[in-house]
Each structure stands twice: as structure tokens, then as C-alpha cells.
Structure 1
């Protein structure tokens, strides 16, 4: 065996070992040394190796095929079969990015749930000396709620509608979960065995898991309503506190002068494009100096089998999990109501105790994620239904599998499947259905990449000469932290933190790059077959 390369840095050692096997003629065995392990749990160390190889090779399957050994006890590293060019790319990536080490990401949102495992600070060094922020205390949030991961918090109530503050924590603690979900997507520490009721099980982590978080709570209440004056104050404080990136998964904010000054200070600002698609000219947050993010599907789906009384098996999509599955082995009566949004029609269909099939009207496409579906869910639940099969446009229904979130068996289907179910109902006196829990399937290329139907479209109504959104990122059925659990959420709010995480990695590699240079790097590489700066998160 020939040793073909030697020590390259304190973070990376590549040793190429020649293996005279014809099947592996184009690859060689490289040993990758990643230095001191960041986790005591060996499984998390192994998961980090898989993540590194997945980002390099494009899929987890290829990563698992490539890896030969994981070194996870005395140090962190692995041995893998790679081509020379892959080894060079990996060397450059690991030597410099370091998972966003010590980059400070400011998150303006609904606060944070500090006890979540995603914000564990074990293995972190001291808070960066350049940090000038503070940890503002309040209701159920004391100084110990901050740590070396959540390095600072502030909260703002000025200008926020009074009813949005009712029942809220008067602190940076997150009541609704939106801000926690966003923050963990950006910089959550690796968490083993995360799932939503057994769905999407695996290691959950943020895109820049070694970055630090600075939290600015300017949004309040179950509907996550934000105050413009509060947002502006948060941006102003964050600029002075020393954040490296600002992430704002919110809209309807018109006081853009604050973001202009932040960008002028070298701080990239990332906004969600909002969820008013698929109509054109609906995109928001369109000033040219910020990065505006659209939402895409991922290659992960959640097929759910519906068995009809005639033994026909049809497949829809849902988040109906094993944990939520009660009496799934029994058949239930199946009734048909053309429109679940019409309470009178629904009541006459005898929804109580039964599974209801209903349709989204074909002349009114979705204009907001879950808007009409949410109304249907509320109506069938209030009438005592035990399940919902909801039909919509085939291009739309897969975008909203998180709408039911365990309330009941809730399956989304396209019109073709719905019509087959309706025909069965009409052809028998006692139609019944049995709904099985969903399964997690990865690698569905039909779904990805595709812009989600709810994602707002350009061109910008305010600035028609500016192309917006700037970039798209995963925003459908994203699993991330909510309080002490992990839940799916969908929206451009979930896409925005993906891009914020990529910027944290870029800032770690290129601390001297301006916001314009970072924006250019992202939008000019995002359409490649394996984008250099594009990552998918669990």
C-alpha cells in the first residue's frame, strides 16, 4: 500500500491508500481526520461523518456506500472510498467551514425554547469575545436559560397588538414554536432519534450546527404577529450586538431602512418570501440588498395507505403517525361531503364518528398554506369526525401534509384518487375505509426539486425591475425543534433558515466577503446539479 498524502491541517488528514481492485479503479481509500470529537455519544459522531459525506456525494445512500470506517471514540474521523477530486473538495470544505464554528446568527422571530436538546452547549468553547449583546430575563426565562449556544436574547413588546400578548410569556421564551423551529434549523446541535411520531426518524441538526444563536423576540401569540417598531428595534440592537448574519422568517415589514444599514455594516440579511402563492406578484421582502427565499419540496414523502371496503388500496400523503394511530386496524364508515368548508353541507353528510371525503373547490386554488384545509380540519373535528380525506390540485396537496399534525387521520389526495373513492362510496350501501399510519420515504425525485405551490411568486410589485425571490430552499415538511419535541412545519419561514445556515458556513470560510459577494455566491451556484453551497437538513 502506498501512502499518497500526509497531514494537511489540524482539522484534516488525508491518507490515500492504494487498493488494486478493478471495481474500485476510480476511487481510493482516504482517511479523514477531523480532530477532537465534538460529542460524547458515538452515534452522533458517526452521524456527523454521514452528513459530511452526504453533502459531498449528494445522497445518504452514496455516503453509506462510500464509508469504510468511522472513528468515534478517541477522535473524530472516517475512512471512505473517494475519487481524487472528491477528496480535494472534502479537504477544502472541512478545513475551512467547521460547521459554522463561532459564527453568530441573529434570529428575529417569536423567541426560543432554551431547554430543547437542539440548543445543548456541551462541547462549546467560550462565547466569542466580540459579542456585545445581553441575556434579557423575564417570565420563565432567567440568566441560566442562555448558554454557550444561545449566547444572548432580547424581547420587544412596543407596537405589538395587545391581544397578541395575551397568554404570552413576557420574555424571550417561545410560546408558539415558530422561532424555535427556525433557530434549530439554522444552528441546532445534532440530536439523535429525533422524529415526529416516528416519521422522518434520524439525527436532526441545523445547517450550521456549530454556530451561535442570538435571539430577538419581536413576534407574539399563536398567530406569530410581529410589530414593525419592535422588528426595527431588534435589527438595530442586533447590528450593535455583533451578529454575523440576520435571519427573519417574517413578512409585512416595511421599515427596510434598518436592514439597509445592517447590510452596510457587513451583515447579510435573509428574509422569507412569504406564502401567498401561486399567484404572481405576491412575493414580499423584495428590496435589493436582502436575500429573499422561496420554498421548495424535498425528496421525502409520507405515503399513507387507505384500504376501502372492496379491498382496493389507494395511497395519499399524511403525517398520521404510529404514535397517533388509534384503532387503525378497524374500518370506519366513509361519507362524502363536497365541501368541508360548508358546515351545513358537512353536517348533513353525517360526519360524526366517520371518515369524511371532501374536495377543495376546483375554481379556487390555494393561496396560502393550509388556509382552506385548516378550515376543513376545524369543521370536521368540531362535528366529531374521526378522519379526513381531503382532495386538492395534484400540484398543491403534497405541500401541506403538516396541516393536521396528529389531530386525526388526515390524508391529502389529488382529484384522481378522490374520484375513485367517491365512485366507491356511490356504489355501495355501507362504504368503509381503514387508514394506516404514514411511512417515511426518501428519494422521491417526483417531488424534488419543485417550488411549493404556496411559495409567493415574483415579479416584485414594488420593484418590478428586481428579480425576486433570489433563491429557493427546502420549506415543506421540515422537521425541527418545537418546545421539547420535534414537529413538521411548512412555509417560506422554514426555507429562510436553510439559507441563513449556508451563509453562516460561508462566513466561516470567507469572513472578509461582503453581503453582496455572499449573495452572488449563493444565487450563482444554486442551480447546479450538486450546488457547492446547498445543503438539505433532516
Structure 2
């Protein structure tokens, strides 16, 4: 089974190289010697050695490129990007032979075809604040404890939107599609001077100049390969930091946008839109165009963000889970490793390939990986049936102008099947070309839609509208939580159970009629949160011994700033400054905002400590007081939402944290299987160097990854009939009380024996770090089921609850 993904990945790289070769040849001087086509390749050289200036690195890169080019060919003509601050490397237009020659050069960690990644497309923050006071299920004796907000958490919440908050000097950098600087979310009224440590710039470009930045939006960069390549290749990011897609404006305002009163999407979701760290500064690194995000630009964004002085980097994009590169060939893994080594928190989206298992991306252990969940808001649009005016509940975004009375003929797709079509099922799904336009004109059409449908919903609806239908009802169980915007065409989406009621009504009368109501906003909707169907799931195929994703955050129907659009509802004269968008892209900046707040209140904390605080304080209960579920109603597991739903205020007072540093991550790379020469280059910035510890590159070394001091635990391959696996952890007391005693509580599934030694941790003024061991045994073969078993380990001192989920694969 491993061979097919490998073949697919190789084919993807070849296709990527070919795609870049077309643009590269035109912009970079044509074909190489011998008629070889050129493509963009990234050459990664590891960390920047101590006392090495950027100028020296630039010259080193040029000499390295020149060594593989034909004599007389200008080196500068093939260079696309150079990386010289956070790490060393470059991107260049090369032939396959030249790329292969560079791979063989000493000092080169990896060479790979420049990949194209894709974007993972203020009620949410109000909902998270409400959830802060909800019960946090810590599985102590079967009861739930209520977390009290600490004085620090209350102070942080009170000051979150003022420039006097500690977060006012926190800088969040986003690698995304750009920014719309005129949005009120980026107004700088009330902000003090830009932090003196900021070294970034506001790059001028098309319809963007240095005055587009201010004391809120303090920096903006873009990355452009230029010339014909810009027009032909997805590796272009445009010629300006200005956002042409809306995505970057949405994510940056979600992370750090000002509080904007009276925000809505044409009246829907009305209220105050605000970012999670509203007083933080924003820096945008435009690495994406509408076609995708070039790996070479992503690396440049990381490199500049580190040099500019950001505190948190938010990345709402990633590779395909089906063509997932290894860490040494992944621009996000490479860039984030070196950012974290410099003390910068990196938060990434988990991907939108759910609900399939093993689809999570951005799963490197130095990244905080975020899944998506719903909030307590629903956009309701009902189907009202004739006869007794029965309302069938549905959901979507439409500004229907249909009569409120059910007067429009109602027909199913199957009944409207064209006589030339034999496939009844396709007609019931309203696939294009299967319906008779004369049968649906003037009618509301009921269409089924499933994950395996050949055609997107919006395309089906467009076909119905063109054929003269007055509205549509889509039956969609999987995607029902995500409100699709149909604007002026009356459309709503219902469940299969609701569809059964409509089918029953249609069969009960010779002239079925209905209407569709315009959308209304329903708040305090239950249950919430629910893990979104699209959110990518664990385990990570790369690192099953690291539990991913890490946490979940709101990522469904999120209201945030947007770019102007020409698609307006009838009667509207101005485009909305806000939009409702879904995806793990939207979840990621929620956690980036929370991370910025934690860092502001704990400026000495490492990225690992911040991640630990966010994970160990996450909530597992919904607003019904029950365990969080997936949108199918099944209990959510750590593969769905990691440690749980992010709880921003609670993370400010975590009690204990799990620390990790650069050397721990380097040891992870050793255990993962990288050779000593590669590790040496990645570790080149460490003054004393680095060598793999015992077990590095051993046949069972990947099992050692379970021992990484991570806030969650994952153990694979535990024997059912015999065998015990023991992992170690170390926690640091960061609570206000230097003298504190924590006791442990274990929640374990049937058939799995879990023991924690010691069961009590006593911290003093002189003892701030203490270790413990967790032993897992599957000896109870009669009760243990083969597969993944989930549970948790929670330390508590009566005030703090520090919870770590675990998964053990039998």
C-alpha cells in the first residue's frame, strides 16, 4: 500500500517541475544546454552558520549555482529567491541534470521541485469566551470540574481590545494571499508607535504603496517571479501585497482585527467582528495567488518574517494529503522549524480533506496544528410545504424574494428526468444534462447531493437557475453545517431525514407546492462546537507517534473582513466589508490570536510552552455539557480535534507546561531517520553543534518519537497479548504558586492498563521541573480491541487542570 502514494508523489513532483519549466523557460533565458527544460527548484542548505552574514550567504549561493551551470550562463538569470536570515538556501530555474548535480554537492540538505500548495479555504470569539466558563471534562472520578478564570485571564480578556494591553507590542505575521488595507479591521486609531524592534517594510506594488501600512498593519511584502512566468505559472503571488482573493484579509482580521461594531454579511451574523488578539500588530507576507502558493515564496515569507521580528506566524495553507512531501522537502516544515528555533510560534491549518482518516497535514512536531469546528450560530432557511404550512428546517445563505406562502410547484429531480436519460440516480442528484428544462421551469426542485456527486452544488444550482427553476432544495447530510452562499437564488439544504418528510408530502398530493424562506441568523445553537466534516483527521502518516491535529478552533461560517466583490444581493448598493467563510484556514488564525495573547502575558515562554498551555487547557465539552462530537454525531476523538476546543482565556493560566527546544526537535529528526550529515547542516546554527543521541537511526528509533516531551502521547504497535510501552514526560511549574502539589487522574479505555509514576508531583521554590513516566500495557487481551484506544492523563492542583490526551494503537 505504501508504493502507490510514493508513485503518486513522484508523478506530482514531475508535473510540478514541468509546469514551472514552461514559465521558467520564457522568463529565465529559455532551455538549458542540450535543450533541457528548466523548472524552479528549491535548494535547502540548512541553518545559517554562526557569524555568517547575509551577503556572504548570497555569494555562497551564487557560487554553488554557478558550479552546475554551463560556462557563460549568468547565474543571476536563474535565481528566483535567496534565503539568508532564518536558514540558508535558494530557489532557481534549473534543468533536471543541474538539480541532480546540486543534490550531490556537499552542504546540501535537499533539492526539490518547487511545489504549489493551496489555501485551506465575530461570533466565533464571543462563543470561545462563553466556553471559557463552561465545564472542562477532566475525567476525574467521572465528574467534570468548572474552571475558574484566573485574575490574569480576566485582565487579559478585559484589555484584549485596547492598545494598553501587553498584546499591543505583539506582532502576528501571516503567510497568505495578501491584505486589503482599507478594511476597518486594520484601522490604527488608538495604537501607539510601531514597536522599535520591528525591522520589516511596507512594499509598494500595484495599487499599494508605503502609506497603505500604518500602526496596525505595520508591514506587507509580496513575492513575484516576474515576467512571463508570472503570467503562466501558479508560482506567481501577484505584483502587490494587495489581496485579490479575500483569504488573507479574512485570516488576518480573524487573528488580530480591530473590534468593528455593526459588522455583518448583508445583515446576517450581525454584531461586532474582532480578532482574537485585537491589539496585536499585523504583518502580511503575500505568498499566494489565486492559483496557489509557491513553495519558494513560502520559504521567502518565513525567512523575511523571522528577520522582520514577528512573534507568531499563522499559515492557513498546505500540501495535498495525497502528495505529502517529507519534512526535508516541505517548505512549511523547513521554514517553521527555523522560525521556532528562533523563538517564533508557528500555527498551521490541518487541511480540509476530512472526514477521511490520516489526511492531516502540517504535522511536524514543532508546528501547532489546528482542526476546524463549528460555533453556536446557524443560518436557517426553511422549506414551507403546502397543505398545513409545515416548515422543514434547512440551512444556507439566500436572500429569497419568494412569496412567504407555499405557492410554487415542487418537484424532485427524479421526476424531472429527461426522456433521453436512463440513469435515474443521476437525475435525482440533478446532475447537469439529466433534467428536462420544461419540467422544472417555474418550480422548486428537490435534489440529492452526496460526497460522491460528480458536480459541485453551486454548479447544479446554476444549471437549475438557467433552466428556469425558481428555487432548489438540496439534500446534503455531510456538508449541512457549512452555509453555502447562494445570494439571490432561493436555495436551502436539508438532511435526509428532513427530505423523507418532503418526499412523503409530495406523494400525498397531486399538486405539491412549497416556498423557501430567506435566511435568518440563529444564535446559541446547540450542540456546539462540533468537529467540521471537512477538517482533516489524524493519525499523521508521517508521524503516527505524534498525535495530530493538536487542537480545534472555530472554522465554520466565520465572519471576518473581506475584499470588495461585485456579487451583491438585490437592493444592495455597496459590497459587504465582511464575509462568511469556512475551512481550517479560518480555524488557524483563531489559535494564532490566542497564541499571541499567551505570549504577550508570558513573554519569556518558548513556542513549545505556548503550545502546551493551549493544548492542556483545551475543552472537551460542548454547550450542552456533553462530550464534543463530529458532525455525524459520533464522539470526537483526538484524531478529530486533538486535545479539544481551544480555550484562550484558560491558556493564560496553564499551571504546568511541557517544554521542548531546538535540540529536542533535532533528536526527533534523528529518530525519524535523517542521516547525520543532514542533521549536522540543519543544526549548523548551534554553537556546540549537535549529534544524535542513543537510538538515532536504529531500526526501532521511530518508537522513540513517542518519548518526545509533547503535551499529548501517541504509542503505536503495542502488543495485545504481551508487552508494555513506557514513555517519559517532564513538566514545568509556571503557576503563580511556586509551591504546588499536583495529583494525577487517568481515564483509560477497557483493556488498556495505564500507570503513571509518580502519581503526585510536588513543586517548590527550588524545584520547578519534575518528570514522570506513563506505562501502557495491553495484556488484557479479552477486553482490548485491536485498533486505536483513546484516553487522557490529567494533573491537577485543585486550581489548574493540565490534561494530556493519548492514543495507543493495539
Question: TM above 0.5, one fold?
Answer: yes
1:533 corresponds, among 633, 645, 648, to 648
Kindly indicate whether the alpha-carbon contact (under 8 Å) linking 2:169 and 2:195 is maintained by their aligned counterparts in 1: yes
Kindly indicate whether the alpha-carbon contact (under 8 Å) linking 1:353 and 1:385 is maintained by their aligned counterparts in 2: yes
Task: Give 1:169-208 correspondences, 5 Å limit.
Answer: 170-208=239-277
Kindly indicate whether the alpha-carbon contact (under 8 Å) linking 2:617 and 2:646 is maintained by their aligned counterparts in 1: yes
Q: Which residue in the other structure is 2:539 paired with?
A: 459
2:349 corresponds, among 250, 272, 286, to 272
Is residue 291 of structure 2 the alignment partner of residue 210 of structure 1? no
TM-score (norm 1): 0.77
Is residue 405 of structure 2 the alignment partner of residue 350 of structure 1? no
Q: Which residue in the other structure is 1:430 paired with?
A: 511
How far does residue 195 in structure 1 lie from its aligned partner after superposition? 0.8
Whole-Å separation in 2 of the counterparts to 1:212 and 1:150: 6
How far does residue 386 in structure 1 lie from its aligned partner after superposition? 3.0
Is residue 151 of structure 2 the alignment partner of residue 88 of structure 1? yes
Query: SS of 1:184's equivalent?
Result: helix
Kindly indicate whether the alpha-carbon contact (under 8 Å) linking 2:149 and 2:649 is maintained by their aligned counterparts in 1: no
* 1:471-514: CA deviation from partner (whole Å, max 9, x where unpaired): 10011110111125111101101100100000010111011111
Kindly indicate whether the alpha-carbon contact (under 8 Å) linking 2:236 and 2:294 is maintained by their aligned counterparts in 1: no
Is residue 411 of structure 2 the alignment partner of residue 296 of structure 1? no
How far does residue 534 in structure 1 lie from its aligned partner after superposition? 5.6
How far does residue 312 in structure 1 lie from its aligned partner after superposition? 1.8
How far does residue 418 in structure 1 lie from its aligned partner after superposition? 1.2
Kindly indicate whether the alpha-carbon contact (under 8 Å) linking 1:340 and 1:379 is maintained by their aligned counterparts in 2: no
Whole-Å separation in 1 of the counterparts to 2:175 and 2:403: 41
How far does residue 358 in structure 1 lie from its aligned partner after superposition? 0.6
Report the count of equivalent residues.
451
How far does residue 385 in structure 1 lie from its aligned partner after superposition? 3.1
Task: Give 1:484-495 correspondences, 5 Å limit.
Answer: 484=564, 485-495=577-587
Q: Which residue in the other structure is 1:360 paired with?
A: 449
Task: Give 1:11-410 correspondences, 5 Å limit.
Answer: 54=130, 57=133, 88=151, 91-93=154-156, 98=165, 100-158=167-225, 162-163=231-232, 170-221=239-290, 225-252=292-319, 254-255=330-331, 256-310=333-387, 311-320=389-398, 324-329=399-404, 331-337=407-413, 338-340=427-429, 342-347=431-436, 350-361=439-450, 364=451, 372-393=456-477, 396-401=478-483, 403-410=484-491
How far does residue 95 in structure 1 lie from its aligned partner after superposition? 8.2
Kindly indicate whether the alpha-carbon contact (under 8 Å) linking 1:295 and 1:492 is maintained by their aligned counterparts in 2: yes
How far does residue 440 in structure 1 lie from its aligned partner after superposition? 1.5
Q: Which residue in the other structure is 1:31 paired with?
A: none
Label 1:53 to 1:110 Cα distance change in 2 as closer, same or farther (>3 A).
Answer: closer
Q: Which residue in the other structure is 1:75 paired with?
A: none
How far does residue 295 in structure 1 lie from its aligned partner after superposition? 0.3
Greater RCO, 1 or 2 (C-alpha within 8 Å, sep 6+): 1
How far does residue 347 in structure 1 lie from its aligned partner after superposition? 3.9
Q: Where do 5+ consecutive residues of structure 1 fail to align?
A: 1-46, 60-82
Kindly indicate whether the alpha-carbon contact (under 8 Å) linking 1:110 and 1:177 is maintained by their aligned counterparts in 2: yes
* 1:13-55: CA deviation from partner (whole Å, max 9, x where unpaired): xxxxxxxxxxxxxxxxxxxxxxxxxxxxxxxxxx9x9999857
TM-score (norm 2): 0.52
Query: SS of 1:144's equivalent?
Result: helix
Label 1:451 to 1:161 Cα distance change in 2 as closer, same or farther (>3 A).
Answer: farther
Whole-Å separation in 2 of the counterparts to 1:347 and 1:138: 50
Query: SS of 1:398's equivalent?
Result: coil
Label 1:161 to 1:274 Cα distance change in 2 as closer, same or farther (>3 A).
Answer: farther
Q: Which residue in the other structure is 1:35 paired with?
A: none
Kindly indicate whether the alpha-carbon contact (under 8 Å) linking 1:283 and 1:456 is maintained by their aligned counterparts in 2: yes
Q: Which residue in the other structure is 1:468 paired with?
A: 548
Kindly indicate whether the alpha-carbon contact (under 8 Å) linking 2:552 and 2:646 is maintained by their aligned counterparts in 1: no
Query: SS of 1:172's equivalent?
Result: coil
How far does residue 191 in structure 1 lie from its aligned partner after superposition? 0.8
How far does residue 325 in structure 1 lie from its aligned partner after superposition? 3.2
Kindly indicate whether the alpha-carbon contact (under 8 Å) linking 1:341 and 1:376 is maintained by their aligned counterparts in 2: yes
How far does residue 450 in structure 1 lie from its aligned partner after superposition? 1.5
Kindly indicate whether the alpha-carbon contact (under 8 Å) linking 2:173 and 2:282 is maintained by their aligned counterparts in 1: yes
How far does residue 365 in structure 1 lie from its aligned partner after superposition? 5.7
Kindly indicate whether the alpha-carbon contact (under 8 Å) linking 1:341 and 1:375 is maintained by their aligned counterparts in 2: no
Label 1:531 to 1:486 Cα distance change in 2 as closer, same or farther (>3 A).
Answer: closer
Is residue 515 of structure 2 the alignment partner of residue 515 of structure 1? no
* 1:47-68: CA deviation from partner (whole Å, max 9, x where unpaired): 9x99998576469xxxxxxxxx
Q: Which residue in the other structure is 2:591 paired with?
A: 499
Query: SS of 1:105's equivalent?
Result: strand
Q: Which residue in the other structure is 2:139 paired with?
A: none
Query: SS of 1:419's equivalent?
Result: helix
How far does residue 422 in structure 1 lie from its aligned partner after superposition? 2.3
Label 1:312 to 1:280 Cα distance change in 2 as closer, same or farther (>3 A).
Answer: same
Query: SS of 2:531's equivalent?
Result: coil
Structure 1 residues 525-534 or 140-149, which shifts more?
525-534
Query: SS of 2:457's equivalent?
Result: helix
